[in-house]
Structure 1
Amino acid sequence: MQDFQKKYCQSLTEYSRRITNQIKIGDLSLGSDSPIRVQSMTTIDTMDTIGSVEQSIRMIESGCELVRITAPSVKEAQNLENIKNELRKRGYKTPLVADIHFTPNAAELAARIVEKVRINPGNYADKKRFDIIDYTNESYAIELERIRERFLPLIKICKEYGTAMRIGTNHGSLSDRILSRYGDTPLGMVESALEFLRICEDENYFNIVISMKSSNPQVMVQAYRLLVQRLEEEKLKPYPLHLGVTEAGEGEDGRIKSSMGIGTLLEDGLGDTVRVSLTEDPEFEAPVARSLITKSADSKQNNHFSELIKHDTAFPVSPINPYSYTRRETFEVGNFGGLNVPRVIADYSTIDVENHDDLKPIGHFYLPLPDKWRMNDLGADYIYSGKKAAPFMLPNGLKEILDYRTWQTQTDKQNKLPLFSVEDFFDPSKELHESLNFLQLTIDDLTPVFIEFIKQYKNIVIVVNSKSDASMIEFRTFYFQILKYGIKNPVILSKKYGNIPESDFQLFAATDCGGVLIEGFGDGIMVALPDLTTKQDKLERLKTVNSTAFGILQAARTRMSKTEYISCPSCGRTLFDLQETTAMIRKRTDHLKGVKIGIMGCIVNGPGEMADADYGYVGIGKDKIALYRGQIVIKKAVHADNAVNELIELIKEDGRWFEQEKLEYSM
């Protein structure tokens, strides 16, 4: 790949916000000269005027600067005027956005009423019937001309009324035409948007925002980066970007996936408006978005983390392909690196491990009666005990790391492992474990002398510790440096966070570690929060930290340890209670390690939007559910009362079901 094709941001190793066009959405400005804006979407039926207004007010008061409302047909588009008038009557001037999927007539009406319309190129004036068509260049050009003719009226209305537009591509709803030529790829997502964008530029209409959404953070990040590169390559205008991970889900999983995608791009300096899509009430989305935006601002203030790394160009060339995943090549040390999945290390350095129950928070359970250990799917691989070793034999699935000087005092040095400081590692009289040693360092330790020294050792795992607010950028710079110098030791990402809420910890850790995991870097993860007063509180917090670490690896698709739920955030089209249904399906299936289940409230967010799922549960009418295997419908019109049972039967038919083994957790 040529060097110019790898440039997608101002700098890979310092925070620098991308320069964009400025656009207007009503009285709101959007672009790089403006703050990064927060938005969300209502979940009330659009025909419920007062319900939509009151929910919009709750969203605005939680921090939303734009409110999106679905308009799947002309009647909903018409009612946008009533909603807008009532909001203005109550003193709220927040711009409204009409969400359009299939209906050009609804878009053309809505564009006369609200300040912005969102269209999805995959199904707006295009075809999505899951057909595979072999297009010739001529037939492809004919389809493009047909799309132009259907799209032009909306452009003219937007120009006349001063209405902004978001061209929003979704990974799961690419048209048959795009899929036939480009496949289910980030390139297909980008081309889908560019086709519509070129038509807009031909008509001198530039009041545009672009998005590239996917439920897979890795695909989402690659698509946005490729979009920026292609805009520059084709000399198109630098349009603002709307960031979002679609169908992220609920709770911890939804926040981690959203942070990995949105947070990574914000750290790259990309993004001008953010929507976090959670299967929760929409007023809970804005605070999450605001936390991610605040973190990127902190990175901007604290991005000079190393005196050794000199930045001699504003557009450095990436040493990796930023638009596809390739794991960094490493040699194997113990069960790190090589073809091994990334490992999770639990930090017990400030907790006295006194009895078996102290290991419950990290997924290891002692059963006294048979005198055996059991481990759940979130069982940590290692514990770091620091200066005090555990006083009992650990389970076979768990190994202990000690500070080097403490390790030296142990009688059993074979089953315990040393963590060296750089100073101790340079000591010529040091004692090494024969097969697995850990070396803790920061990016400032990568001196020429150290680089040549470390290359002599094939039994060392590096633990890179970040102390910067710009940890993702710091980890990435470390990654690029060791690539440059040919160091192939496995690397563990290590970060201890300051006194922040646990909710922010999930967001920040997913950004800092996830942002480089999806680039192919990282053979393990060790994250931690500050100490609490009591041991009980410390153990409870450790459970959250351990779950977050596994969640990050899962979202990065580097280690699948639990069931994944791809659920839409609900909107006025939804045909059942998404939160209740998701909770019900999770209760029955959350022991199915590695299985991906899509839960979609309507056919718009149906087989296309859950492109990454193994199975799908999709609302198609009142109390009617369609069940999918991948993107193929298997059972139609199943009554909602029995749909979860039918879903489980489908999983059983494929041999992917097993009964849940109960492991009680109590502190």
Structure 2
Amino acid sequence: MNKTYCPSLTEYKRRVARVVNIGGLPMGGDFPIRVQSMTTVDTMDTLGSVEQTLRMVEAGCEYVRITAPSIKEAQNLLEIKKELRKRGCNVPLIADIHFTPNAAELAARIVEKVRVNPGNYADKKKFEEIEYTDTTYAAEVERIRERFRPLVQICKQYGTAMRIGTNHGSLSDRILSRYGDTPLGMVESALEFLRLCEEENYYDVVLSMKASNTQVMVQAYRLLVQKLDEEGLQPYPLHLGVTEAGEAEDGRIKSAVGIGTLLEDGLGDTVRVSLTEAPEAEAPVARMLIDRYTGRAAQAKPIKPLVGEEPINPFQYIRRTTHEVGDFGGLNVPRVITDLSRLPQLEYADLRAAGHLYSSFLDKFQMSDLGADYIYSGERPVPFMLPNGLKEIVTHSAWVDAGQRLEHFPLMTVATYVADFSQLHPTLNFLTAELDALDATLLERLRTETTVVLALTTTNAHAMPELRRAFFELMNAGVTCPVVVRRTYAVDNPAQTQLDAATDVGGLLIDGLGDGISLCTDLLPAQEQAAWLRDIDALNQLSFGILQAARTRMSKTEYISCPSCGRTLFDLQETTAMIRKRTDHLKGIKIGIMGCIVNGPGEMADADYGYVGVGKGKIALYRGQEVIKKSVPEERAVDDLIELMREDGRWIEKEVVEEPVGV
């Protein structure tokens, strides 16, 4: 099996893509990775669209996409463009097209780039299972190609670029019938259109493989690159994005897990972070993701190259096989370890930073859905009984000095572990190591060890690939001990830490690597302990957010909400906040919140329930991809959504939690 999808697994090398010129601002090749976003104002509101575009450009947006759902919106792109140019703004404009080839053909004569979705460009999407013979399938493909050909010819004539943008949730019935709801189906959907472009000698094409599920998204992009090379097609530039990432912290983490994983491997020529927020909030996040790779090759320490074939399938999620140690590995969900070792002295209330809330009124602990499984207290064991379910890790020396208590679990260095095998906890020990420590002697010992969980660390700027290389070393040596990924960050820039950690750890989880996560800070507390605890609490919440975004541990409600555009039929930010307020206690349920029928139900992909705008003040409610209520007044739609969950036995009332001390 050909697994090649990036220039190098161990060095930072950006994939060299074909250069595509978009309105005088080229992308691909050696040009910088570009930032783009999309307006949310009604396209017929010319001045509103212009003002919003100017704000987006000011925020760092280099390409601006505007929806054109029909001929009238496509025509008004000319007025928007004229006004922008009159104000001295030459940002390239991209027309976003769904369902309407005639709008695309008009827009291609006006703007610098058009985006088409092969899943609904002259194709069918009725959620029907259709049996195709090879003959009828080929005939349907030819029909679509003939409908698509005029757009290609217009783009070629006018020098207009095109993005063929496949979305996981809007694959056509025809593609689904042959390839299923898979990354391969996404890739083949785009390649059908791309082959026609090449037949017409049209090469100003950008490709994207977006999904809300980060595993599917990453696998699809990788498979696309591999297929382009396999078929001898041009190395077209890639536009990266996670659809319907959501809002606030969750949206940023999810975007970083998907986009960052691909950037680590040198893939990507333009980025759009899709947040359910004002579009000018998206560009700074995209820029932070991109800028991490400026100078990466020079900053990184060399990583020893992999000998032989990589031991994972990069196009399919398969969790690394491990034996069970305590509650790590095997079939257990990845565990969260919160580092409290730098605090001078722990009290009951301090465990709130690990998600365990102490009520002085009730004199007991209450664990939140984001309660850590373990805390690391370092040299100073906790001086009181921990709440039920929470376990403690200490240094090996502290464990020995305290009499090797069974309720404590030691963390040791490789030197300590190799020097004396006799002083081990009988059931669970933690061993911290970097890639260079994994020599033949240690690997042989670990191959037969039954009580050790490895805590992998790195100080390499090219962190995720080095950690991945360490996993490959373990797998090729037949070592099946569980592994916790331990990363240390300076939390003086929480927004950057959020993106960095989601990339470093999320990229491993996407590939089935990792049985736990431990995020630490290397800063000494320069402020009062309450502020220091807030930093630790943020890292604890971030750990759970990364696991959720990588689809490896669902600990809270997931909101698959689109970022809004000119098609949106209600206030997405306000509605998402309202739904979140009433449902954020429903652990593990996925709710899709879509502004229009274009983005729902298809774009909700694997959501359990959907809230979709279908008209002014009218909402359709979905169970999965099945519409249950077609035209619910907006003012009672959330109540009806909750009632639908109640009917399914999935609704629980929100508990009133006693406010903990120390707030």
The TM-score range, normalised by the shorter chain, is over 0.9
* Correspondence for 1:658: 652
| One-letter identity of the residue aligned with 1:503 | A
Q: Tell me, what secondary structure is at the counterpart of 2:603?
A: coil
1:384-423 to 2 correspondences below 5 Å: 384-411=376-403, 413-423=405-415
Q: Tell me, what secondary structure is at the counterpart of 1:230?
A: helix
Would you say 1:615 and 2:609 are equivalent positions? yes
**Counterpart selection for 1:446 from 434, 438, 444:** 438
Q: Is the 8 A contact 1:267 1:299 kept in 2?
A: no
List per-residue Cα deviations over 1:173-204 (Å, max 9, x = no partner). 00000001110000000000000000111100
Q: Tell me, what secondary structure is at the counterpart of 1:455?
A: helix
Q: Is the 8 A contact 2:491 2:535 kept in 1?
A: no
* Correspondence for 2:584: 590
1:35-50 to 2 correspondences below 5 Å: 35-50=32-47
* Correspondence for 2:182: 185
Q: Give me the whole-angstrom Cα distance separating, in 1, the residues matched to 2:229 and 2:561.
A: 34
Shifted more, 525-534 versus 368-377: the winner is: 368-377
Q: Tell me, what secondary structure is at the counterpart of 1:33?
A: coil
Q: Tell me, what secondary structure is at the counterpart of 2:37?
A: strand
Q: Is the 8 A contact 2:27 2:269 kept in 1?
A: yes
Q: Give me the whole-angstrom Cα distance separating, in 1, the residues matched to 2:409 and 2:302.
A: 30
Q: Give me the whole-angstrom Cα distance separating, in 2, the residues matched to 1:569 and 1:140.
A: 34
* Correspondence for 2:221: 224
| One-letter identity of the residue aligned with 1:511 | T
The CA deviation at 1:411 is 4.3
List per-residue Cα deviations over 1:332-385 (Å, max 9, x = no partner). 000000000000000111013432110112211223454432211000000011
Q: Give me the whole-angstrom Cα distance separating, in 2, the residues matched to 1:513 and 1:38.
A: 24
Q: Tell me, what secondary structure is at the counterpart of 1:526?
A: strand
The CA deviation at 1:453 is 2.4
* Correspondence for 1:425: 417
**Counterpart selection for 1:648 from 620, 631, 642:** 642
Would you say 1:330 and 2:322 are equivalent positions? yes
**Counterpart selection for 1:17 from 10, 14, 21:** 14
List per-residue Cα deviations over 1:288-345 (Å, max 9, x = no partner). 1111111133533333244xx2467xxx743211111100000000000000000000
| One-letter identity of the residue aligned with 2:17 | T
1:178-577 to 2 correspondences below 5 Å: 178-306=175-303, 309-310=304-305, 317-411=309-403, 413-428=405-420, 430-498=422-490, 500-529=492-521, 530-533=523-526, 534-577=528-571
Gaps of 5+ in 1: none
The CA deviation at 1:635 is 0.5
Structure 2 vs 1, CA of residues 206 and 42 (structure 1 numbering), >3 Å: closer, same or farther? same
The CA deviation at 1:145 is 1.1
Q: Give me the whole-angstrom Cα distance separating, in 1, the residues matched to 2:579 and 2:55.
A: 28
Q: Give me the whole-angstrom Cα distance separating, in 1, the residues matched to 2:562 and 2:238.
A: 21
Structure 2 vs 1, CA of residues 68 and 641 (structure 1 numbering), >3 Å: closer, same or farther? same
| One-letter identity of the residue aligned with 2:574 | E
The CA deviation at 1:15 is 1.2
Give identity over the alignment, percent: 63
The CA deviation at 1:432 is 0.8
Q: Give me the whole-angstrom Cα distance separating, in 2, the residues matched to 1:486 and 1:588.
A: 48
Q: Give me the whole-angstrom Cα distance separating, in 2, the residues matched to 1:13 and 1:121.
A: 34
| One-letter identity of the residue aligned with 2:572 | L
Q: Give me the whole-angstrom Cα distance separating, in 2, the residues matched to 1:221 and 1:353.
A: 43
Q: Give me the whole-angstrom Cα distance separating, in 2, the residues matched to 1:457 and 1:576.
A: 58
* Correspondence for 2:134: 137
Q: Is the 8 A contact 2:209 2:220 kept in 1?
A: yes
Q: Is the 8 A contact 1:267 1:473 kept in 2?
A: yes
Structure 2 vs 1, CA of residues 171 and 429 (structure 1 numbering), >3 Å: closer, same or farther? closer
| One-letter identity of the residue aligned with 1:410 | A
| One-letter identity of the residue aligned with 1:362 | A
| One-letter identity of the residue aligned with 2:370 | L
Q: Give me the whole-angstrom Cα distance separating, in 2, the residues matched to 1:453 and 1:354.
A: 36
Q: Is the 8 A contact 1:305 1:474 kept in 2?
A: no
Q: Is the 8 A contact 1:7 1:318 kept in 2?
A: no
Q: Give me the whole-angstrom Cα distance separating, in 1, the residues matched to 2:296 and 2:388.
A: 40
Q: Tell me, what secondary structure is at the counterpart of 2:436?
A: helix
The CA deviation at 1:532 is 3.2
Q: Give me the whole-angstrom Cα distance separating, in 2, the residues matched to 1:18 and 1:303.
A: 17
Q: Give me the whole-angstrom Cα distance separating, in 2, the residues matched to 1:524 and 1:142.
A: 50
Q: Tell me, what secondary structure is at the counterpart of 1:507?
A: helix
Q: Is the 8 A contact 2:554 2:588 kept in 1?
A: yes
List per-residue Cα deviations over 1:158-185 (Å, max 9, x = no partner). 0010000000000000000000111000
Q: Give me the whole-angstrom Cα distance separating, in 1, the residues matched to 2:622 and 2:299.
A: 47
Q: Tell me, what secondary structure is at the counterpart of 1:6?
A: coil
**Counterpart selection for 1:113 from 110, 114, 122:** 110
Would you say 1:578 and 2:575 are equivalent positions? no
* Correspondence for 2:160: 163
Q: Give me the whole-angstrom Cα distance separating, in 2, the residues matched to 1:442 and 1:546.
A: 23
Q: Is the 8 A contact 2:301 2:461 kept in 1?
A: no
Q: Give me the whole-angstrom Cα distance separating, in 1, the residues matched to 2:213 and 2:491.
A: 30
* Correspondence for 1:173: 170
Q: Is the 8 A contact 2:264 2:465 kept in 1?
A: yes
Shifted more, 234-243 versus 429-438: the winner is: 429-438
Q: Is the 8 A contact 1:38 1:275 kept in 2?
A: yes
| Deviant stretches of 4+, over 4 Å | none
Q: Give me the whole-angstrom Cα distance separating, in 2, the residues matched to 1:57 and 1:370.
A: 54
| One-letter identity of the residue aligned with 1:545 | L
List per-residue Cα deviations over 1:264-288 (Å, max 9, x = no partner). 0000110000000000001110111
Q: Is the 8 A contact 1:472 1:515 kept in 2?
A: yes
After superposition, the CA RMSD in angstroms is 1.3
The CA deviation at 1:636 is 1.2
| One-letter identity of the residue aligned with 2:551 | R
| One-letter identity of the residue aligned with 1:144 | V
Q: Is the 8 A contact 2:36 2:64 kept in 1?
A: yes
Would you say 1:60 and 2:53 are equivalent positions? no
* Correspondence for 2:632: 638
Q: Tell me, what secondary structure is at the counterpart of 2:398?
A: helix
Q: Tell me, what secondary structure is at the counterpart of 1:394?
A: coil
Q: Tell me, what secondary structure is at the counterpart of 2:284?
A: helix
Q: Tell me, what secondary structure is at the counterpart of 1:215?
A: coil
Q: Give me the whole-angstrom Cα distance separating, in 2, the residues matched to 1:268 and 1:494.
A: 21
Q: Is the 8 A contact 1:21 1:31 kept in 2?
A: yes
Q: Give me the whole-angstrom Cα distance separating, in 1, the residues matched to 2:490 and 2:473.
A: 27
Q: Is the 8 A contact 1:263 1:296 kept in 2?
A: no
| One-letter identity of the residue aligned with 1:521 | L
Q: Give me the whole-angstrom Cα distance separating, in 1, the residues matched to 2:384 and 2:69.
A: 62
Gaps of 5+ in 2: none
Q: Is the 8 A contact 1:38 1:274 kept in 2?
A: yes
Q: Give me the whole-angstrom Cα distance separating, in 2, the residues matched to 1:274 and 1:380.
A: 33
Would you say 1:51 and 2:48 are equivalent positions? yes
